[in-house]
Amino acid sequence: MRIGVLAVQGAFAEHISRLALLGTEGFEIRQRKDLSAPFDGLILPGGESTAMRRLLKELDLLVPLKTMIQNGLPVFGTCAGMILLAKEISGGEAPCFGTLDITVRRNAYGRQLGSFRCREQFAGSEIEMPFIRAPYAERVGENVTVLAQHENRIIAVREGSQLAAAFHPELTDDTAVCKYFLQMVAKSPLNVV
């Protein structure tokens, strides 16, 4: 199994080491030619979504990655990655991939609460969740499953082959969320032969 991690900006290295810890090959997607060898899943890391969006366009990665996601490539967006996937961004900003049927609010916890940690249930197990100037989902579409909430706000969702978390699971010792994604990849119709 090979997982591509978007590596134009942000916390991509942490995802690659987390994958290595779980015995999975992760590789950096920095430019168009990195997409030429086949891969089974995609991670969009945390960082700054406006910078990533600009770089995705400049590097000619936006359209090919969007097509892959639309064709069912399993994708996992954390924090800024969740914003990149969202169909709608509150406040009128244009969507980036726009493939995940949610509306996100960016920097949703205010300046003071920009960074905090909490423990919440994720798909049935309690895990630590670090938030860094995080978004949450204000609206989810009817085909979207809510996997985690914090203070009644939606912070992790799944829609088919797309998984998104407002927090940074790769910054804790807990591997539950990464394992959840790798199971999605293993069960993906694209990878079952």
Q: Say whether 178 is catalytic.
A: no
Nearer to ligand GLN, 37 or 94 (CB): 94
Reduced 3-state DSSP string for 125-155 = EEEEEEEECCCEEEEECCCCEEEEEECCEEE
Give the pairing of strands 115-122 and 125-132.
antiparallel
C-alpha to C-alpha distance for 139 and 100, rounded to whole angstroms: 11
* Beta-bridge mates of residue 3: 26, 41
Q: Least Å distance between CB 106 and ligand GLN? A: 4
* Helices and strands counted in the chain (H then E): 5, 12
Min dist CB 124 to ligand GLN, Å, is: 25
Burial class (CB in 10 A: 0-12, 13-18, 19+), 173: exposed
Write down the least CB distance from residue 189 to ligand GLN, Å: 30
Gyration radius from the chain CA atoms: 15
CB of residue 82 vs ligand GLN: minimum separation in angstroms? 8
83, 49 contact by CB (below 8 A): yes
Which one is catalytic: 79, 88, 150, 159? 79
Residues at the interface with ligand GLN (CB under 6 A): 46-49, 79-80, 83, 106-107, 132-134
- Residues assigned a catalytic role: 79, 168, 170
